């Protein structure tokens, strides 16, 4: 147990819409380890920042139990992460971080809860275990429902700000970032107002790359994955998806391409996910689908080098 401090003080008030960072805490955290962070609010907080699809269980207690050495007082469970948005870890092994930014597929919304089976978790295992792999940590900046071009509205606030509007905050300015992987675009087809012009979608993707290049970073971008059989599927939307993918594969959008569409699709029915990779909703992958996504990434593409000229 370590007590967090903020400017040397054991308490902090977070301004509405703001953020704070604690002082460093000396604590050994082995690789592939869950870290427990406890917060206590002495009065009702009102609306709080939270991550609705954490795929992890949080535990709640009444009163100030932040320094309890056991979990006996924590009699309620919650599927959300509240308040905490990230942890910076100093490691003698890691040489930086790769940021994965995207929508629910990066968020890992259908992965097994508590198992750390998002594609970003499988990627972290590859970076940690494979000989010759770049020693990067993985920062998952997926938001379920997220779009490339349009911010979430007051009617759908959990969709979050668009990737374009949160790119600097959530990806380019993260600690030790060496590479960026982008998985985004399907919700721009699904959600009103729908964007059915593939050129406008890839223009947004190219803007991501330009902003990353200004920071000296290369971008690996994914093709849009199959969703045949999903309640939002239509032949029109799929045709837009395939046109976007054709442009991405041409090499004129991202520095590197990871073909998640090819990795996940059913060879017998390419508009659909392979059955073993389908979580059941015909849009989001299963655990094995997420594993296949991570295995598709070329780890050499994540090494830091001069940005390509596109």
- How far apart CA 90 and CA 93 sit, in angstroms, is 9
The pLDDT of residue 156 is: 64
The per-residue pLDDT for 90 is: 86
Exposure of 256 by Cβ count < 10 A (0-12 exposed, 13-18 middle, 19+ buried)? middle
Residue 33: per-residue pLDDT: 87
Q: Taking 70 as the threshold, does the pLDDT of residue 200 lie above it? A: yes
289 contacts: CB under 8 Å, gap ≥ 6: 264, 273, 274, 276, 277, 278, 279
**Domains defined along the chain, listed by start:** 33-85 (no CATH), 97-302 (3.40.50.1110)
Q: Where are the alpha helices (DSSP H) in 177-256?
A: 186-190, 198-214, 235-249
CA distances from 11 to 1, 40, 66, 83 (A): 16, 9, 12, 14
- The bridge status of strand 50-51 relative to strand 81-82 is antiparallel
Q: How many Å separate Cα 276 from the centre of its chain?
A: 23
Question: How does pLDDT run across 285-303, given as a tens digit for each residue?
Answer: 999 999 999 999 999 999 8
| HSE-CB of 41 using CA atoms within 13 angstroms | 11
Q: What is the pLDDT of residues 73-116, one digit of tens each?
A: 999 999 999 999 899 988 888 899 999 999 999 999 999 999 99
Alpha carbons 271 and 229: distance in angstroms, whole number:
9
158 pLDDT higher than 70: no
| Number of DSSP helices (H) and strands (E) in the chain, helices first | 8, 11
Check residue 252 and give its pLDDT. 97
Least Cα distance to 273 among 254, 287, 286, 255 occurs for 286
């Amino acid at each position: 147990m370590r007590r967090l401090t903020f400017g040397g003080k054991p308490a902090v008030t977070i301004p509405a819409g703001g953020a704070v960072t604690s002082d460093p805490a000396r604590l050994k955290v082995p690789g592939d380890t869950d870290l427990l962070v406890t917060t206590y609010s002495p009065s009702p907080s009102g609306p709080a920042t939270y991550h609705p699809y954490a795929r992890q269980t949080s535990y709640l207690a009444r009163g100030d139990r932040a320094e309890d050495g056991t979990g006996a007082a924590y009699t309620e469970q919650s599927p959300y992460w509240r308040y905490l948005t990230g942890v910076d870890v100093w490691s003698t092994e890691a040489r930086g971080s790769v940021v994965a930014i995207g929508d629910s597929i990066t968020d890992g919304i259908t992965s097994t809860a508590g198992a750390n089976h998002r594609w970003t978790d499988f990627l972290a295992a590859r970076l940690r275990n494979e000989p010759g792999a770049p020693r990067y940590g993985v920062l998952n900046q997926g938001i379920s429902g997220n779009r490339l071009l349009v911010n979430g509205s007051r009617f759908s606030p959990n969709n979050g700000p668009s990737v374009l509007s949160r790119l600097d905050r959530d990806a380019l300015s993260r600690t030790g970032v060496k590479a960026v992987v982008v998985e985004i675009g399907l919700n721009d087809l699904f959600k009103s107002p729908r964007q059915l012009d593939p050129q406008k979608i890839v223009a947004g993707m190219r803007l991501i790359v330009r902003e990353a290049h200004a920071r000296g970073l290369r971008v690996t971008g994914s093709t849009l994955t199959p969703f045949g059989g999903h309640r939002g599927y239509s032949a029109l939307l799929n045709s837009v998806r395939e046109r976007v993918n054709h442009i991405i594969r041409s090499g004129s959008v991202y520095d590197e391409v990871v073909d998640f569409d090819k990795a996940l699709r059913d060879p017998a029915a390419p508009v659909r996910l392979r059955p073993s990779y389908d979580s059941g909703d015909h849009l989001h992958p299963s655990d094995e689908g997420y594993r296949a996504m991570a295995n598709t990434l070329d780890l050499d593409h994540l090494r830091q080098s001069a940005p390509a000229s596109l």
